[in-house]
A and B are shown apart, each in its own frame.
Chain A
Amino acid sequence: MWQHLYDELKGYGFMVFAVAMDSRGADVARPWIEAAKSTYVSVIDAEHRVADLYNMVNVPEAVWIDEAGRIVRPTEVAGSGDYFRKMDRQTRTLSDEAKAMREEMRSGYMAALRDWVKNGTKSAYAFDPSAARAHLRPQSEDVAMAHCWFRLGRHLHAIGATSEAEAALAEASRLHPDSWNIWRQTGDLKLEGKPNPDFWARVEALGNRRYYDKIDMPGMP
């Protein structure tokens, strides 16, 4: 997905560190990674460590990190947004309006990323430290406990303690309902790649509430 961008920007001192949040392991992610023929770093995070460390709730999300290892844009959706909620439930297709929204988000986000890689702190898209701090999303202690249960549940699943694993993963999801990483991964462990029948019910349950925050960038829909 990012290869084209990486090829274009690698000469500017740029790296993509792509993390597959796949608890079923490398072989599940392998077909995608091999098809992408990526030359950037592509790793597997079976325990969802990155989600815990960076307060992530779904994929795709991203963090921009400068040369000194400092966060200049904390976790946010990576050029995507709530357009998926407009998908036709039967045909799984997007209306032209939703497609246009998706394209606007994606191309706007890519343009911003290019601008930052080329211009660094002078880029309008790189937050200064106080703005970066203001965009952190502090989480509750329930969320911290949810990550703890998720880690235990994933391990129990891996060693074959399936029913206890399900209870631990359900507790993680109960404590952190906004983490679609947790419930989607939980579903995938059980369904092994088949579509999750609960998906649209979770989407409808959002009601009028946004799922993703608006990407805070000039020109973003």
Chain B
Amino acid sequence: MATLLTERGRFETGGLSDGESLWVAAAALAEATGWDLKPEGFCRDAVCVPLPPGRESQFRRGGEVDAARLWRHAGQPIVASRDRATWSLGTSAALRASTLESLEAPDVALPDLDGRIHRLSDHRGKKVFLSTWASW
């Protein structure tokens, strides 16, 4: 079992960690991150990072992928708990910058006090004032 922490939340997968590798079902990685292994490379939306030719087997074994190796190959930050049971998969500053350059507001879904989920994009058609605060 491996827990993935991503921009989309927390995902429990049947993955197996082996040192610096994290083998998970490709579909589980896609669900947790939006990134998927395709013929043209490791891709999300229009962004694709090609795999090094001849080394595909280091990244894929049947229906499983080494999420950690793919993540590092794409230049994205990744860290794990000491027991390798939990992995945090972040977004690189370069990708963050190019996403924001498009000026399309990154979407996010968060719970209210009652646990009901609200998406920022639910309010398209209105002007939205996205503001933060904290109790601390």
Residues of A within 8 A of B (CB): 1-2, 12-22, 24, 26, 28-34, 41-45, 47, 49-56, 59-71, 74, 78, 113, 116-117, 120, 129, 132-133, 136, 138-141, 143-145, 147-149, 151-152, 155-156, 161, 164, 168, 181, 184-185, 187-188, 193, 196
**Cα–Cα, bound, A26→B78 (Å):** 27
The answer to whether residues A50 and B134 also contact, given A133-B101, A144-B93 and a CB cut-off of 8 A, is no
Residues of B within 8 A of A (CB): 3, 5, 7, 9-10, 76-82, 86-94, 96-97, 100-101, 103-106, 108, 110-113, 115, 118, 120-121, 123-136
Chain A residue with minimal CB distance to B75? A141
Residue among A21, A51, A63 with most chain B CB within 10 A: A63
**Cα–Cα, bound, A10→B128 (Å):** 10
A69, B86: Cβ atoms under 8 Å? no
A20, B133: Cβ atoms under 8 Å? yes
B135, A144: Cβ atoms under 8 Å? no
B9 CB → nearest A CB, Å? 8
Contacts of B129 in A (CB 8 A): 2, 14-17, 62, 64-65, 113
B122 CB → nearest A CB, Å? 8
Chain B residue with minimal CB distance to A142? B93
B77, A69: Cβ atoms under 8 Å? no
B74 CB → nearest A CB, Å? 12
The answer to whether residues A44 and B113 also contact, given A144-B96, A151-B88 and a CB cut-off of 8 A, is yes
What are 30 inter-chain pairs, A to B, with CB distance below 8 A?
A: A13-B126, A13-B127, A14-B127, A16-B131, A17-B131, A21-B133, A28-B135, A31-B135, A44-B111, A44-B113, A45-B108, A52-B90, A55-B100, A59-B132, A61-B131, A62-B130, A65-B105, A65-B129, A67-B124, A67-B126, A68-B124, A136-B97, A136-B101, A141-B92, A144-B90, A144-B93, A145-B79, A149-B88, A151-B5, A164-B81
